[in-house]
Structure 1
Amino acid sequence: MEQERVSELEKIASHIRMGIIGSVYHAKSGHPGGSLSIVELLTYLYFAEMKIDIKNPKWADRDRFVLSKGHAAPALYATLACKGFFSQEELKYLRHIGSMLQGHPDMKKIPGVDMSTGSLGQGISTACGMALAGKLQKKNYRSYTIIGDGESEEGQVWEAAMFAAHQSLANLCVIVDCNGLQIDGPVSEVGAPEPLDKKFEAFGFHVLHIDAHDFTQIAKAVNAAKRTKNCPTAIIAKSIKGKGVSFMENQVSWHGKAPNQEQYEQAIQELNAHMEKLERKGEKHD
């Protein structure tokens, strides 16, 4: 991927992070940690990869995306707003009574959301169903889903994996957000699902490893998944929970709480500083 394109995506990712922090702050609740860890993944999918139409969110031939770890909804909402599915102003009303942006994605109310999610383990199953429908109908669309490493402790994840491989769903790409933390603590101590790569391989997946915050690696992996025939792909994406906000990074306490005003201002200051750094970097390349 060309550096200019990487720089563009990095700036978009910074805007999305600001949207996450702002929405959770205004809601006074939410899940910032696991939202921040998937920003680059969502940025690449929505701004560089997936076939979608913001004017026709239900376009039959669009690529599908399912946020299986539905509590990371602030990341998806901020991404959809940046893409233009709805106004950025809506982010301020996350979890407010009457708002379309509730704590978990709702496909009936939110433009651009392909599946309502929230109960962990179920999203990957629906992504499999979408992939199978595309295969049976001989459609060219692809089905993407992001699951959490903590979520992979759910048995339904592996039932879905078995189904996907049995049906040879080469149009399915499962991305595992491996930030190492879940609500009760380190994933390795709570359920210890590793080695995830060997398990997905045993279930019949083509498995790839990437840095979840490196756009070049994300692009290579997604393109490799598209070239894979006769089996689904699992991308094991090593990430940092709370990525981009210094005091949230790798802190399990930020799994599900909102920043106060002082913390919000510090987070936005850090993100603005990062954006300015990206702008200066871009000017040097011009």
Structure 2
Amino acid sequence: MARDLPPLAPLVAVEAAARHGSFTKAADSLNLTHGAVSRAVQQAEQALGVALFRRHNRRVSLTPEGRILAGCLDRIFTDLRQTCARLRHPSTLAVSCEPTLTMRWLMPHLPDFSALHPGITVHLATGGGPIDLSLTGVDVAIRRADFGLPGSAVIRPLGAEQVGVVCNPAAWERWGGDLRTAPRLHTRTRPQGWADWSRHSGTPLPPAEAEQVFDHFSFSLQAAVAGLGVAIGPLPLVVDDLAAGVLIAPFGFCPGGADYVALLADDPPPGSPVERFLGWLEQTLPTA
């Protein structure tokens, strides 16, 4: 296996140079000279047989091959940093969570957990779908269970997802409270969202006069806040906007057909940081 790998020490310089876009800044961050970083990068390039960087006058940029390696190194070094932090500080948790749920619910509410458990530090990483907990070093992976859950993982249910139609209150009034005249917002990450809501809520879905498709859930929800149309909103992703009055849910919420779960490598000991975090999730994540 060792013969399949390039020299590992130069990869530290490659990762730093890719992150900073500069050999000079990489050298400063590693307490090395510019020449040492340049030689390390050349060593990695010679071992791999490809150019990793394009050299410009005062900066460097990644080649396509360099971008592939930099992405891999970023994941590896992130996992390594989190693992080292957990070894140095046993009260550190590595938590992986789906990106939109991280941005719209977990991050805004994480200070509440920290206030309850000031000795526990949570490191967040975003990700969705399957995850190998043994390889990533993640303690808790929060997922929407819409894929084949790994048989090797311990699964802790967090509750059923609730979904509803959400929109800007002033815009809803302007559209006369009618789904036929309100522009309908879709997301490519959940293309059947409207059909699923109609089926689970028992509400007929009339043809829309106008529709718009967004790449991510967060975009469609922000468009709804801005009054551009009506969107399907899972409760955890819109609960704060509902409380603030910038969104309303004129038809209420209904089960969305999937559950939220926490995936763990092993059953956590009672009173452990993982168990405390799970207890907080189970009490605070807005679900049925």
TM-score range, shorter chain: under 0.3
Q: TM-score, with normalisation over the residues of structure 2?
A: 0.22
Q: Which has the higher helix share?
A: 1
Q: TM-score, with normalisation over the residues of structure 1?
A: 0.22
Larger-gyration structure (1/2): 2
Give the number of the structure with larger relative contact order, counting CA–CA contacts within 8 Å between residues 6 or more apart.
1
Q: Which has the higher strand share?
A: 2
